[in-house]
Structure 1
């Protein structure tokens, strides 16, 4: 964050001149993009066309996959920006849009995982309450719209602000890497913005999700089959790993960096920048959540894998026959 007339510190300028960091981040984004589009593309096809009925969990998974595919489509622009030396050439509107896609994916993923956790909690720990709740599909769809509304409401400043910043010393224009302090009218407005992002969109959903999965594991540990218990524990581990490895470092560093920048004129932006690229790994892990959370998804995926293995086996047999005939 900087004033429009403020000169950037040496640490920030060094980051923009560090080609090694830029290449590392770009390589991570390339790997994430490939896994994201292939894994979530197959997941979306299975969830939409091969999985029925559309239970609340399936609806939440479709919502999660949609946000992941949006991120996968936006990452190539970020890769190009990194490889061009942090020089944004697509204009301020495109910068705001892609930044919004980036952060909407993160926080919609957090809220959707919380919704899946609540759905499993009600289904396993509070089954009577769960059965009495009618119109569950409608509630799930409305919940998805409310999630998007909440996230877009909190991130509204990103939609209405020019997030590009010209650095004459390096002859580049950055995108969201240098924020102007006058993006928001006061320090209290900045505090509210950061509080909403870190605590409302991350910390509170993390606590709720953790409570739900711990309650589910305790319930299944008392009176469940071994296979179901193992799947529940694996699902809880994957979800908590996504929170701890992908979302927690980024949100904690965002808060620390913003406080240091606003009040002490110091920065840890390089660490935050690296944590931001690791936050995208959630889009690669989400298909594992679908696998452990949905029995129907699991069965359909196994059927596809079985068909592929059978077709490959048939093709090998055909090749062997052709080899034998050609030998004659």
Structure 2
């Protein structure tokens, strides 16, 4: 994002970014790979989650929500690829620009909030199994949580939905989409500060802290029992989620904050780095199916059946037996829900 010195002139540093074919080519290639992997992986995941995975536990509901946001990004990326290959020249009009930009950022922040929700569900099911014991109540809360996530994200991104995000650059004969934001997009510096605060702290940093806390507690709790395979999957899941936050989400959000402050107050820019980080943020949509594989036992089994793999290995069969014994132990201790199992634990 870059502020302008006038309605028709940009500084030389900004113009050089749009003249660089190397950066746009790298971004286009990454987007192409992400689009293919996204649509194939998440298309299969959505089919499995909707039609082959039962019952629809809270974790499965959150995974469906996450898959939907990923597929939305996969549909939007081809337009971004065309824009990059045409040399940052947008020719689909301001409304389409605003719509696709909001879709792009909605995927990022809904993914962050959904991963937080999944981590909270794991935490409640494993660390505090007596909380929210009724499956029906937990399902209702999961659906309400998904609707709340979308409402929160769209309310924060409202300025993008109501603003013309295109910008004409006569010097280069192009019209950019979202690459140059006008200062009058928001009425004051205070409004810009509130906008950035909500994007960085409410939609990224706070969920990141909650997710980290929940998975650390889950790993500690699982370390107390002897189910080695379950602990390994839990650790892999936690590492993968934190990796997505660290590699995909953190650089983009930190650079967005730094870049906007530099442009508003010091007339400096780190936009090239931000543009690349925005590109890498899309990689999260390719990693989410692996989160489902590690996070849902039923999803793993259905995927093995579809791919023609062995349903379970001998080692995993033994683990299934230990899981049953563990569930019987939970019943004896009075830690089970009314339907006779702990949902989040079984999902591992």
TM over 0.5: yes
2:22 corresponds to:
20
Change over 3 Å in CA distance of 1:134–1:304 after alignment to 2: closer
- The range that moved more, 2-11 or 269-278, is 2-11
Q: d(CA) in 2 for partners of 1:134 and 1:65?
A: 22
Structure 2 counterpart of 1:197, from 199, 212, 215: 199
- The range that moved more, 167-176 or 1-10, is 1-10
Check whether the contact 2:38–2:285 (CA below 8 A) recurs between aligned residues: yes
Task: State how 1:200-211 maps to structure 2 within 5 Å.
Answer: 200-211=202-213
Query: Per-residue displacement from partner, 1:102-142 (whole Å, max 9, x unpaired)?
Result: 00000000000000000000000000114257511111001
Tell me how large the CA RMSD over aligned residues is: 1.4
- What is the CA-CA distance between 1:80 and the residue it aligns to? 0.1
1:294 corresponds to:
296
1:183 corresponds to:
185
Check whether the contact 2:219–2:234 (CA below 8 A) recurs between aligned residues: yes
Q: d(CA) in 2 for partners of 1:305 and 1:286?
A: 18
Q: Find the residue that maps to 1:144 and give its secondary structure.
A: helix
Q: Find the residue that maps to 2:224 and give its secondary structure.
A: helix
- Determine whether 1:105 maps to 2:107: yes
- Determine whether 1:216 maps to 2:218: yes
Q: d(CA) in 2 for partners of 1:82 and 1:134?
A: 47
Which structure features the higher share of helix residues? 1
Check whether the contact 2:70–2:285 (CA below 8 A) recurs between aligned residues: yes
Alignment gaps of 5+ in structure 1: 310-328
Q: Find the residue that maps to 2:213 and give its secondary structure.
A: helix
Q: Find the residue that maps to 1:32 and give its secondary structure.
A: helix
- What is the CA-CA distance between 1:26 and the residue it aligns to? 0.1
- What is the CA-CA distance between 1:9 and the residue it aligns to? 1.4
Task: State how 1:1-328 maps to structure 2 within 5 Å.
Answer: 1-3=2-4, 4-5=6-7, 7-131=9-133, 135-306=137-308
Q: Structure 1 residue runs of 4+, over 4 Å off?
A: none
Q: d(CA) in 2 for partners of 1:238 and 1:163?
A: 34
Check whether the contact 2:98–2:164 (CA below 8 A) recurs between aligned residues: yes
Q: d(CA) in 1 for partners of 2:8 and 2:249?
A: 31
Q: d(CA) in 2 for partners of 1:181 and 1:52?
A: 50
Check whether the contact 2:57–2:135 (CA below 8 A) recurs between aligned residues: no
Q: d(CA) in 1 for partners of 2:58 and 2:185?
A: 38
Q: d(CA) in 2 for partners of 1:166 and 1:33?
A: 28
Q: d(CA) in 1 for partners of 2:189 and 2:9?
A: 20
Q: TM-score, normalised by structure 2?
A: 0.87
Q: Find the residue that maps to 2:131 and give its secondary structure.
A: helix
Q: Find the residue that maps to 1:229 and give its secondary structure.
A: helix
Q: TM-score, normalised by structure 1?
A: 0.92
How many residues align structurally? 309
- The range that moved more, 133-142 or 175-184, is 133-142
Q: d(CA) in 2 for partners of 1:36 and 1:132?
A: 34
- What is the CA-CA distance between 1:302 and the residue it aligns to? 0.9
